């Protein structure tokens, strides 16, 4: 079946530094990947849609200069949280789409900014 690998699972960084999160589709080519943010005990908030070879589409209210998304290949998308601050601490989840009905989620990344 479709597998999406997300790394790291947990990361702690200092305020002002940048953190990169990777999302890989291991056994299929993902033309589209999605990045979500989840606050404690809340639902998933779509941050951006990443299409291979083109710029990501950000949802309203998401700072594109803060959350850099790169989808350089059909199997890899990265989210870089730049100049991280404590309020960026959250659970980030990626999802890869193989077809209109096939969405597979990564295991998530717990980011803590201290």
Partner 1 sequence: GDSVTQMEGPVTLSEEAFLTINCTYTATGYPSLFWYVQYPGEGLQLLLKATKADDKGSNKGFEATYRKETTSFHLEKGSVQVSDSAVYFCAPLVRAARQLTFGSGTQLTVLP
Residues in contact with partner 1 by CB under 8 A are 6, 32, 34, 41-44, 46, 49, 93, 95, 97, 100-101, 103-108, 110
Q: Closer CB to partner 1, residue 16 or residue 102?
A: 102
Category of 68 on φ-ψ map: left (φ > 0), alpha (ψ -120 to 50) or beta? beta
Q: Closer CB to partner 1, residue 34 or residue 67?
A: 34
Structure tokens at 31: 């033309």
Q: How far is the CB of 74 from partner 1 (least distance, A)?
A: 16
User: What number of CA atoms fall less than 13 Å from residue 86's CA on the CB side?
Assistant: 1
Q: Closer CB to partner 1, residue 29 or residue 42?
A: 42
Q: Specify the residue for token string 């299929």.
A: 28
| Separation CA 11–CA 40 (nearest Å) | 16
Q: How far is the CB of 13 from partner 1 (least distance, A)?
A: 19
Q: How far is the CB of 108 from partner 1 (least distance, A)?
A: 4
Q: Closer CB to partner 1, residue 40 or residue 86?
A: 40
| Separation CA 44–CA 41 (nearest Å) | 10
| Separation CA 107–CA 7 (nearest Å) | 8
Q: How far is the CB of 83 from partner 1 (least distance, A)?
A: 26
């Amino acid at each position: 079946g479709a597998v999406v690998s997300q790394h790291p699972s947990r990361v702690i960084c200092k305020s002002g530094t940048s953190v990169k999160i990777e999302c890989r589709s291991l056994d299929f080519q993902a033309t589209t990947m999605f990045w979500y943010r989840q606050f404690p005990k809340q639902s998933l908030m779509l941050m951006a849609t990443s299409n291979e070879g083109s710029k990501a589409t950000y949802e309203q209210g998401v700072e594109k200069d803060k959350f850099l998304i790169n989808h350089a290949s059909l199997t890899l998308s990265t989210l870089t949280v730049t100049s991280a601050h404590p309020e960026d601490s959250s659970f980030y989840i990626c999802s890869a789409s193989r077809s209109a009905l096939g969405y597979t989620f990564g295991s998530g990344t717990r980011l803590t900014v201290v």
